[in-house]
Amino acid sequence: MTKKAEAADRETLTPWEKPVRRGRGRPRKERPPEEASALLAAQAVIDAPVQEEEEKPERPTALSAARRAPSDSLRALGERWLDELLAVRGLSPMTVESYRQDIAALSSFLEESGEERTARQALSSLDDEQLLLFVVWLRRRGDGKRTLARRLSCLRGFLGWCVDMGLAAGNPAALLDGPKLPRVLPNVLSRGEVLALIAAPDMKGRLGRRDNAMLELMYASGLRVSELVGLHPLDIDLQRGVVRVFGKGRKERLVPVHARALAVMERYLREVRPEFMPQDSHVFLNRSGVGLTRQAVWKLIRRYAQQAGIARDISPHTMRHTFATHLLEGGADLRTVQMLLGHSDLAATELYTHVQTGVLDEVYRRCHPRNLPEDASGPDAKVPEDAGPAT
């Protein structure tokens, strides 16, 4: 190419709008001012130092109030009694926490009345009249009859301990009667409702298979919800067909489990539980591999009850009531059911006898010697009119 042709080509080329720096390539594309400001603001947020989250204020509880209380206060004295209940008498932590709330209620009442200074001064001024005012204060605050009865029972034990320790001259709560509690009949499921509830979980996923195993075990053993969530794999003896349970006060008992529930639990422990990537040693785990809570079990049972078409409001304890009731209907004696449930008092187990009206009627008709005439041969035979009244 000649010099004249090169000069002609230079004249036809259009120059860059802005000069290009050597080694930089094409010029940068200018951004709109608003876009540039948004990018700068975002970069400033990213580059900003991480600020530590402010600590959330501690929710006031009876335990935190007792820890902050002076050493000579009534709350601190109550902690000494609660430690003895927990260590010596072996009461459950939940029972001890309930008693702590009861002592906190008494302390709050005395503080509001302006009469509590130290524990000795509070105990010396506590009498029958003040306890009656305390009961009125509790009722106005909204405490129900059962809560009120528990608080008075706690005060009787606490003030009796103070008398034994030489801290009080007498127990003003010893002769204070609690409210009369109505005898509430337990909510019991029928056999069809139990089967529908157990079949409600979706067996395609790990959560459904976990819940199915949980419901099978609850109906087969009558465990409390706290006992259920506290189970460990070593507590389930698949060879002997029993479950080792630690009930209230860490009392240990062995509960037999039928073959169907054992097969479900064996499959769950072998196939399903490893899918949760266990982070602790509990039997029933949540999505994170941590043991289920009592509240989670409560929500699951309510959800499956709705799916099964059970219109009543049921809870995990309903499965325990159903377990005991169906055993008694099947012919089990009351003492055996008491041992299976882990009741300390037989009176607590006698509550389930109300559901056996059909069974009791059949036993009465079959066994009472004056129910039928001597020459009757069947349970449907009628008493002749001249038989006279039974004496």
| Residue from 289, 284, 301, 296 nearest 230 by CA | 284
Q: Could you say which DSSP state residue 85 is in?
A: I
**Which of 132-136, 212-216, 348-352, 353-357 shows the lowest per-residue confidence on average (mean pLDDT)?**
353-357
Instruction: Name the band, by pLDDT with cuts 50, 70 and 90, for residue 72.
Output: confident
Residue 366 pLDDT greater than 60, yes or no: yes
Our answer to whether residue 320 is catalytic in this structure is yes
Those residues whose C-beta lies under 8 Å from the C-beta of residue 244, and which sit 6 or more positions away, are 235, 236, 237, 252, 253, 254
Give domain limits for the chain. Answer: 63-164, 191-361
Catalytic choice (320, 326, 364, 365):
320
Instruction: Name the band, by pLDDT with cuts 50, 70 and 90, for residue 387.
Output: very low
% of the chain residues with pLDDT over 90: 37
3-state secondary structure 13-51: CCCCCCCCCCCCCCCCCCCCHHHHHHHHHHHHHHHCCCC
Span 63-164 CATH architecture? Orthogonal Bundle (1.10)
Instruction: Name the band, by pLDDT with cuts 50, 70 and 90, for residue 127.
Output: confident
Our answer to whether residue 267 is catalytic in this structure is no
For the ranges 29-43, 309-323, 327-341, the one whose mean pLDDT is highest: 309-323
The C-alpha atoms of residue 140 and residue 161 are separated, in whole angstroms, by: 28
pTM score, whole prediction: 0.65
Look at residue 35 in the predicted model and tell me its pLDDT: 55
Our answer to whether residue 248 is catalytic in this structure is yes
Residue 312 pLDDT greater than 80, yes or no: yes
Look at residue 388 in the predicted model and tell me its pLDDT: 46
Look at the block and give the residue holding tokens 């059970």.
310
How is residue 8 written in tokens?
Answer: 């002609």
Average pLDDT, the chain: 80
Look at residue 56 in the predicted model and tell me its pLDDT: 47
Our answer to whether residue 343 is catalytic in this structure is yes
Look at the block and give the residue holding tokens 């001249």.
386
For the ranges 73-82, 183-192, 254-263, 351-360, the one whose mean pLDDT is highest: 254-263
Span 191-361 CATH architecture? Orthogonal Bundle (1.10)
The C-alpha atoms of residue 337 and residue 326 are separated, in whole angstroms, by: 10
CB neighbours of residue 139 within 10 Å: 14
- The SS3 call for residue 236 is strand
Average pLDDT of the residues in 231-250? 89
% of the chain residues with pLDDT over 70: 75
Q: What is the pLDDT of residues 283-295, one digit of tens each?
A: 999 999 999 999 9
Look at residue 13 in the predicted model and tell me its pLDDT: 57
- The SS3 call for residue 9 is helix
- The SS3 call for residue 222 is coil
Residue predicted with more confidence, 67 or 172:
172
Indicate if 191-361 has the same CATH topology as 63-164: no
Catalytic choice (224, 273, 282, 326):
224
CB neighbours of residue 133 within 10 Å: 12
- The SS3 call for residue 268 is helix
Catalytic choice (248, 267, 294, 302):
248
Amino acid (1-letter code) at residue 31:
R
Residue 389 pLDDT greater than 90, yes or no: no
Q: What is the pLDDT of residues 182-235, one digit of tens each?
A: 777 778 898 999 999 999 999 999 999 999 999 999 999 999 999 999 999 999
